[in-house]
Each structure stands twice: as structure tokens, then as C-alpha cells.
Amino acid sequence: MTKYKAPLVKAFLEPDSETFSYLVYDHPGGQAVVIDPVLDFDYAAGRTRTASAQQLLDFVGKQRLTVPWILETHAHADHLSAAPFMRQRLGGKVAIGKQITEVQAIFRDVFELEPGFLPDGGQFDHLFADGDRFTVGELQIRVMHTPGHTPADLTYVINEQAAFVGDTLFMPDLGTARCDFPGGSASRLYHSIQRLLALPEATDLYVCHDYPKPGREHRHRTSVAEQRQHNIHVHDGIDEAGFVRMRQARDATLGMPRLILPAIQINIRAGQLPPADEQGRVFLKIPINQL
């Protein structure tokens, strides 16, 4: 097996949604990818800000990095994507999994979106399939389709040492992603997690969220070995039937994420806002009794 250099990883925590964004790069002055950038959103006021994304941009400038890719692990339901802001400042392509078309078709109907919105993934610059590989400087990136939380979740495995798993797994004391959004599946999530846990035990796993209990600081990195030994939902010895029963029972007790209605409408558009009206105003929809 080819021995790769360990990638350099800088994590950025957006505290309101407890989301981690990542900048992964080969060396200062080299090449990088951005993963899951966050656009700040004041829900009560309906106002967006770019303070969190700017922190990431400042680090890119300090390290003199070139960023050819802005990668989404999935269409997030708990925060708005800052991908367009990042692309405007850095260039590069915005990419997601090709199954985003399934998610778009589901939520086009939920929100009764405008006729011009097509669920074909064309809002993104590139759609990845399971097994795709691409190179960014000294970073060798392999794409894994890891559905269950949504139909379109991806994991990005970089230099066969670091895997960016989105919402599929959390820290071991928190468990696994919910599967009760439209298109979700606890059975598919179980099989996706088994693929992740089949990676070498030393592989670092980088999560998109952490919701620590009192007394524990936020963490963004775990490992395959730690997950196999200690994940409360899916450690070694948990079979598919037991996991599905647990996951479905737990999901039935959960409320919807606070930002799901604005987030999904924007994130299935690759982070773009809906079309403005003749006065330049932008509106989001609030479907009643749909989720």
C-alpha cells in the first residue's frame, strides 16, 4: 500500500449550531479543501452573516493556500452552507454526492419550490459517486457514499488516514446520526457505519457536530478503534436489527432541528438563496404540518 503523508487539518467550530468546518491541506503555501463551511444565520431576524466563514478564509490567507474544492458531506438540516461565499472568495468547485438529486426531489415537493428549480444537481459544480478519487496537491481523496442520515451523505477519506464523516457518526458517548428525515434509513446507516468501521483502526474520523454533556469540551476527532470499542449505539457486537430498533425508537423522541426549514431550502441549492422578487427581496417558505 502506498504510504501517504498525514494531511494537516484545521477545525473551526460554529458554536450556535455546534458545527465543525474543516480546512485540510498538504503544507503551508500548498493546496487545500474546505469541508462543510457554515453561514451564520440569525433566525429571529432573518439575517445572514459571514463571521464564521471569514475565520476560515483568514487562515487560508495566513497559510497562503490554494483551494480548488469546497466539499459538502450532505445537505445539512441544522445550519446554512457558506459554500457560495467561499467560492466567491477562493474560487474552486462546490461538490456533493450525486444522490443529492433524491434529496432535492423530496424537498422540492415539501416546499413547493419555483418551477425553475430542477432536482438534477445542477446547482452544484460537481457530483461525486461512491469510489471516486481525486488529487489536490499532495492530498489523495477517496469518496465513500455513506447514506442513512440522508440519501446523499458522503465521507471523504484523505490520504487513507483521515475520514470526514459528516453527521454519520458522532463522538462515542453520543452515538450516531438520526434517520427520520425524509429519505433517511436506519438500516442503510448501519451498513454505512460498518464500512467506516472497516477502515484501519488508526484512521482518524472527523465529525461535523459535537453536543457535549456538561463537563466535557467539544471534540471533533475520534478514531475507528475508539468508535468500535465505545460508541454507545454501534460498538462491536451490535447487530443490524438491534441498531435499527434503537435508532427508530430514539428518533421518535427527537424534535426537528431549529434551522431545518431555512437550511434545507438553501442547502439543496448549493448554499444559494432562492430567487429574488422584482424588488430584490428574498423569501423562504414555512410549510405547515409537513415535517
The pTM of the full predicted model, rounded to 2 decimals, is: 0.96
Give the integer Cα–Cα distance in Å for 252 and 265.
23
Residues in the chain: 291
First to last CA, the chain: 47
30 vs 289 pLDDT, higher one: 30
- pLDDT tens digits along 116-145: 999 999 999 999 999 999 999 999 999 999
Q: State the pLDDT at residue 190.
A: 98
Dihedral sign of CA atoms 194, 195, 198, 202 in order: negative
Tell me the percentage of the chain whose pLDDT exceeds 90: 98
CB 265 within 8 A of CB 285: yes
Q: Which three cell numbers stand for residue 158?
A: 484523505
Task: Please give the domain boundaries of the chain with CATH numbers for all domains.
Answer: 8-255 (3.60.15.10)
- pLDDT tens digits along 142-186: 999 999 999 999 999 999 999 999 999 999 999 999 999 999 999
